[in-house]
Structure 1
């Protein structure tokens, strides 16, 4: 245990060879038992101290995925030390169990240094921290119009994604919110990859859920058209009003 900082439970012959001269540190002298305890690793720089000096908390590092476990990813770093990305630090919007499926052993990834515990010889890393938390601040608000990309088609609606590449938000649009027209409330009329305009109806930061609706955006557009171009009470039909709105939009 005193031979190497990083090579644990290995045969001493894999660290030193017979007749090799090495520098050691005297750890203890027991005169009664006539024993002298020596340390080989203590004569070398502590790799965790060297790591935090070169890569302070908050910096970005790059390393090879050594292993994926039920706890997270182990990433190879400088001087044969490993850093760990816990499942909860892989992605802002999907579960760790789902996010870890994206990674493969041998893949080189980037991560942010979250903590370095020199005493426990641990380096904590985060992948999701490379991007901003989409739920922080007022990035997304109720009533905001956004463009989403369809990522999955289901019987009850469609799954969509929006936002920046490093901080994508996943939402689900129910059938009833796909259109104001009931005949258009069919998930199968969409394809994965389609880009559609919609409106954010709720933002729940506690549960990290964003609700999105196409129907709500259509109703908003219709209301704005009526307010700008007249109302059915004044004798104009809804078709006339929306037609005027479309004509005006085409001029713009």
Structure 2
């Protein structure tokens, strides 16, 4: 018998069966070649690094992954965010914690691999100004907590938006883009900002708008701030001011009577200073001027109803329509009463009936009368109180030069 004995000599011949050697029959050179071939099929991997592997099988609890090592690794199914989306044959990244445990098995972690990849994105964001996506998970003192795919970061309240945030709680659960602005390597605290992204977008839009804005342009915007003197409007990259006098043709005491914060409004550009880049806006200019055709709407002699909007020493201003108000002089308030001050006869916001006396369209001035709503009582009195007739009255005032007697209300 030869030194190399085959299985053919030990067993009956089987047609078509290849000759094979038992392990003991390989010489050292052949064993070395086999070991080399086997080693070449294995990946060169090291502990504490991210490696790529292929999913071999999926059970109810675990996922078996082949990373090209002599043994396969097992990862808990819970470490996969989308359990329903993975399948056998998928390539995944895992973190190699240990080449062999006591059982000679690879120790892998999908969760740690995901966290390390997120940290790569976080450092890339602060070093290269790249954008990273995150989800606001809850409100904390001074701002919000953001989850960057599992890594928590702090979003200061001042870094949420370019506009003041009215409702912080409404932001919880929202996903948006952020830029990492600060990292503390020791504590691993991360600070992110959404505002810086908006500012960059607004800066680009601002330049576009400044290059094209012209007086007379009608734009849409949002009420950003309300002050005593007007409204600041966000035009999408550029802010403009609607002065209180340009909000409505009528008289108002405060802009909040007409608009509210975050309200979308339509405005017209009424002025633009190229040096200061300030934009003046108007709202009332989008409506017809109330004084157009006023002589047709309110001809001299017609009666109208209005509201007392201002009282002065010499009379009261009555608004008969938004943007149209006129003066009732103190002498035009009553035929019979001796009025020392208009406040004795009328009060603010009182509805009164007036007669149009005169229209000065050029200077937008209107003269009104309250006493002329009724006929002049003195015409009838001359017929009622004939000279020589006797009448009863009440003493209303005594002076050095005589006595005033009231014959009837308003008639002394």
TM-score of the aligned structures, taking structure 1 as reference length:
0.51
Q: Which runs of 5+ in 2 are unaligned?
A: 1-124, 132-199, 385-412
The change in CA–CA distance for 1:123 and 1:152 in structure 2 (over 3 A counts) is closer
How far residue 62 of structure 1 moved from its aligned partner, in angstroms, is 4.2
Aligned to 2:333: 178
CA distance in 2 between partners of 1:125 and 1:200 (Å):
34
Alignment coverage as a number of residue pairs: 179
The one of 320, 324, 328 aligned to 1:162: 320
**1:107 corresponding residue in structure 2:** 261
Q: In 2, Cα distance between the equivalents of 1:113 and 1:135?
A: 20
Number of the residue aligned with 1:82: 239
| 1:14-48 Cα deviation digits (max 9, x unpaired) | xx9531369xxxxxxxxxxxxxxxxxx89x96457
1: CA distance between counterparts of 2:336 and 2:315?
15
Q: Give the CA deviation at 1:74.
A: 3.1
- Deviation of 1:112 after TM superposition, in Å, equals 2.1
Q: Which residue pairs with 2:220 in the alignment?
A: 61
What is the CA deviation profile of residues 128-182 of structure 1, one whole-angstrom value per residue up to 9, with x for unaligned ones? 224331212233332222101123444433232221xxx3323221121012234
Instruction: Report the TM-score, using the length of structure 2 for normalisation.
Output: 0.34
Residue aligned with 2:127, SS: coil
Structure 1's unaligned 5+ residue stretches are 1-15, 23-40, 227-231, 239-252
Question: Which one has a bigger Cα radius of gyration?
Answer: 2
Alignment of 1:142-153 (within 5 A): 142-153=300-311
Superposition deviation, residue 205 in structure 1: 2.1
Whole-Å Cα distance in 1 between the matches of residues 127 and 260 of structure 2?
34
Within the candidate set 9, 20, 36, 2:129 is matched to 20
Distance 2:320 2:281 in 1: 26
Summarize the Cα distance change of 1:114–1:50 in structure 2 as closer, same or farther, 3 Å threshold: closer
Distance 1:207 1:129 in 2: 18
Contact 2:268 2:285 in 1 (8 A): no
Q: What SS does the aligned partner of 2:128 have?
A: coil
Deviation track 1:180-235 (CA, whole Å, cap 9, x = no partner) reads 23457873133333322111112222222111111233249x9xxx9xxxxx8xxx
Q: What secondary structure is seen at the aligned counterpart in 2 of 1:206?
A: coil
Does the C-alpha gap of structure 1 residues 116 and 134 become closer, same or farther in structure 2, counting only changes over 3 Å?
A: closer
What SS does the aligned partner of 2:355 have? strand
Q: Distance in 1 between matches of 2:244 and 2:352?
A: 32
Whether the 8 Å contact between 2:268 and 2:286 is mirrored in structure 1 is no
1:127 maps to 283
The answer for the alignment partner of 1:140 in structure 2 is 298
Using CA pairs below 8 Å that are at least 6 residues apart, which structure has the higher relative contact order? 1
- In the other structure, the counterpart of 2:355 is 199
1:84–1:123 contact (8 Å) kept in structure 2: yes
Distance in 1 (CA, whole Å) between partners of 2:231 and 2:249 is: 16
